[in-house]
Structure 1
């Protein structure tokens, strides 16, 4: 049985980060445009994690909220962002949108969602394969 609203962990893994040619902080971008760094794992991969709130819209669809959720109710996403370390009129080297495309049935008892986004580029449109962890 689904219980909304509730918090779900979003975990993104990158086996490697693309070279960008300038100094930048990389991480999940919040609504205040701060970048929250990930963790480098022993195998050299990077893991980025945040918590989002899932809300039931009452018709089998859901919406996402929280400091890391961007976009409109019809197209929610989180940003993996590269922000320049020096002040600039254009602070972003690049940003990759990670769409949050789920319905209430998908996340009925979920506690976390995980995706490997290695190689995903800005403006990518291919679907992301998510793994859903459920409470028992």
Structure 2
């Protein structure tokens, strides 16, 4: 019997904590940072007094062709074998200034099963205190590794 046939849920809850300064070139106006959905809208999350931002989301789960979990939903971007979340920063008029990819591939069936059994979310923390610019003065985005753990 494969791992995915043992899974009795069709979703997993995630909490992401962003602990960072944001890009160097950005207006920092309210409503211009968040988790980006497929339609390009930002979920602003919940700001904490310490400056971190918490994002709560639930993604659907299904087995992929290889048997590995595939996460689905409005915040899951990319191909089935390479899903990720986007954190995005925009200017007030909507122009994108930076996005960070947060891979979801490290989430296993065991992680999903344990989260379901304990009725707890998986937690990821992104600490990003040293934003940089390219040699041409543009923000550096790209991927940031995330470890997802049961809380």
TM range (shorter): 0.7 to 0.9
Task: For structure 2, list consecutive stretches of 5 or more residues without a partner in the other structure.
Answer: 1-5, 130-139
Aligned to 2:72: 65
Cα root mean square deviation, aligned:
2.3
Name the counterpart of 2:146: 128
Structure 1 consecutive aligned stretches of length 4 or more whose deviation exceeds 6 Å: none
What is the alpha-carbon distance in structure 1 between the residues aligned to residue 26 and residue 67 of structure 2?
45
TM-score, normalised on structure 1?
0.80
Q: Which moved more, 1:18-27 or 1:42-51?
A: 18-27
- Is residue 2:119 matched to residue 1:119? no
Higher radius of gyration, 1 or 2: 2
Higher strand share: 1
User: Is residue 92 from structure 1 mapped to residue 96 from structure 2 by the alignment?
Assistant: yes
2:113 aligned with 1:104? no
Q: Is the 8 A contact 1:38 1:47 kept in 2?
A: yes
Instruction: Give me the TM-score of the superposition, normalised by structure 2.
Output: 0.73
**By percentage of residues, which structure has more helix?**
2
- Cα distance in 1 between the residues matched to 2:26 and 2:38: 26
Report the equivalent of 1:33. Answer: 40
Equivalence for 2:59: 52
Distance 1:70 1:124, change over 3 A: closer
Shift of 1:107: 1.6
Relative distance call for 1:62 and 1:49 in structure 2 (3 A) is same
> Gaps spanning 5+ residues in structure 1: where?
none
CA, structure 1 residues 67+99, in 2 after alignment: closer, same or farther (shift >3 Å)? same
Which stretch of structure 1 is more off in the superposition, 103-112 or 91-100?
103-112
CA contact (8 A) 1:60 1:103 kept: no
